[in-house]
């Protein structure tokens, strides 16, 4: 289970990002726990305020991995350039699935979409793990648009390789529900036009049921045998020892 001893706040409060969270503190079956304040997951970072950027500076963020598509970058922009961190654009998919489909409220449907996204993400995951294996990359944040789907898949792979229990990985994924509620509430008040634009996508935005992640875990087991075997198949096995050395503490 998750370690709570002297645990820092997991959610990092920002004005223009709603799902910036620390992945530290989870107990590992390999021994010890995931280090706090080393690796973070987030939603879109393109609209951060000056105060938000100061929070990232206070966290000493050294690396930003952006999992969004080129079209999303063109439409929404990317995080403000800074000499403080290295930016990597590693799109997990060229084209996103249709998020207006009401079936996004079905865990089986979502898990299948996640499996499809993972199938085409070998280069993205391989490069992300290579970066995470380099001790100079930390502290590190990876993100997509909502910090739920693509970011959730990468979180599963990283936490799985770190020996975090499936129960804790699923619980971390489900925490995104509260972030999606915060995001929609903000847009409703601050940008009614934008809120109207995302209305058809609400089933996908709010679809954070535990079965999404447990279903993807079963698919990985069925296709590859385990997360470690998946990583071996995509040619990223050499990154695992570095990842663990950087992120596991006694």
pLDDT tens figures, 86-135: 999 999 999 888 888 888 889 999 999 999 999 999 999 999 999 999 99
Cβ atoms 3, 31 nearer than 8 A = no
The dihedral over CA atoms of 174, 200, 184, 49, expressed in degrees to the nearest 10, equals 110
**pTM of the predicted protein model:** 0.94
Cβ atoms 179, 18 nearer than 8 A = yes
- Indicate the pLDDT class of residue 237, thresholds 50, 70 and 90: very high
Cα(159)–Cα(169) distance, integer angstroms: 7
Residue 201 pLDDT: 80
**Tally of CB atoms within 10 A around 4:** 7
| Statement: residue 5 has pLDDT above 50 | no
What is the crossing angle of helices 122-132 and 240-247, to 10°?
Answer: 50
| Sequence-ordered list of residues with C-beta below 8 angstroms from that of 31, at least 6 positions apart, any chain | 163, 248, 250
| Statement: residue 194 has pLDDT above 50 | yes
Cα(111)–Cα(108) distance, integer angstroms: 5
CA angle 28, 29, 33 (to 5 degrees): 20
7-11, 18-22, 126-130, 169-173: range with lowest mean pLDDT: 7-11
Give φ, ψ of 141 to 5 degrees: -130, 140
Cα(43)–Cα(35) distance, integer angstroms: 21
- Indicate the pLDDT class of residue 3, thresholds 50, 70 and 90: very low
Query: All domains of the chain, ordered by start, with CATH?
Result: 21-249 (3.90.190.10)
Q: How far is CA 43 from the centre of its chain?
A: 8
Q: How far is CA 144 from the centre of its chain?
A: 7
The answer to whether the Cα torsion of 169, 172, 176, 178 is positive or negative is: positive
Classify the phi-psi angles of 225: left when phi > 0, otherwise alpha if psi is within -120 to 50, otherwise beta.
left
Share of the chain above pLDDT 90, in %: 81
């Amino acid at each position: 289970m998750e370690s709570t001893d002297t645990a820092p706040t997991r959610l990092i409060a920002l004005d223009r990002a709603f799902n910036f969270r620390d992945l530290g503190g989870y107990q590992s079956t390999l021994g010890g726990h995931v280090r706090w304040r080393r690796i973070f997951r987030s939603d879109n970072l393109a609209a951060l305020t000056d105060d938000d950027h100061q929070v990232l500076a206070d966290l000493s963020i050294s690396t930003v991995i952006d999992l969004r598509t080129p079209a999303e970058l063109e439409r929404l922009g990317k995080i403000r350039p800074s000499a403080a961190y290295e930016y990597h654009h590693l799109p997990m998919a060229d084209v996103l699935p249709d998020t207006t489909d009401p079936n996004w409220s079905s865990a089986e449907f979502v898990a299948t979409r996640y499996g499809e996204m993972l199938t085409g993400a070998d280069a993205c995951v391989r490069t992300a793990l290579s970066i995470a294996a380099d001790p100079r990359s930390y502290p590190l944040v990876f993100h997509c648009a909502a910090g739920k789907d693509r970011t959730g898949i990468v979180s599963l792979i990283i936490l799985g390789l770190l020996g975090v229990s499936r129960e804790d990985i699923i619980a971390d994924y489900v925490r995104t529900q509260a972030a999606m509620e915060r995001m929609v509430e903000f847009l409703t008040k601050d940008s009614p036009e934008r809120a109207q634009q995302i209305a058809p996508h609400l089933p996908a935005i709010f679809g954070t049921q535990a079965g999404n992640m447990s279903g993807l875990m079963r698919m990985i087991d069925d296709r590859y045998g385990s997360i470690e075997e998946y990583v071996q198949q995509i040619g990223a096995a050499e990154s695992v020892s570095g990842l663990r050395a950087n992120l596991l503490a006694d």
